[in-house]
Amino acid sequence: EVGGETVGQQKANKTESEKRADFRQMLIDNGVDASWKWGQVADLAKKDMRYHALPTMGEKKQVFAEYLLHARRLAQQKERDEKREMMYEMVKAMQQWSGMSEDTRYDQLAADSEMAGQEWWG
């Protein structure tokens, strides 16, 4: 009991949006990522009461599907950002490379151990 209300009353007083947010926060707090399957999330019911924030299985699965979609989009954006940063680093390094000229060929660049050892070379 908290503030004169039982846990059940607190749950009943929450809006649908708050219940969905609680369930989503449970997913975040338990490290759920885009590779998880529904069965793994269902196992959380044994150890996290927020699993029961949403009353129906359909609502739980819907929030999980939305969460996965968001997680995949974030992962894709992160990958794009990392590639963009790596491309920027490559161009910057090539501009600063002492052996760079209009006549420079790929094999000359590849032969330079300083350049070939860069993370973006890979």
DSSP secondary structure of 75-101:
HHHHHHHHHHHHHHHHHHHHHH-TT--
Averaged pLDDT, 89-95 = 89
Instruction: Name the nearest CA neighbour of 85 among 121, 122, 120.
Output: 120
Instruction: Name the nearest CA neighbour of 34 among 67, 62, 68.
Output: 68
Task: Quote the tokens at residue 89.
Answer: 């680093």
Please indicate, yes or no, whether the overall pTM of this predicted structure exceeds 0.85. Answer: no
pLDDT digits (tens, 9 = 90+) for 26-83: 999 999 998 999 999 999 888 899 999 999 999 999 999 999 999 999 999 999 999 9
Contacts of residue 93, defined as CB under 8 A and 6 or more positions apart, other chains included, come to: 115, 118, 120
pLDDT digits (tens, 9 = 90+) for 107-120: 888 888 888 888 88
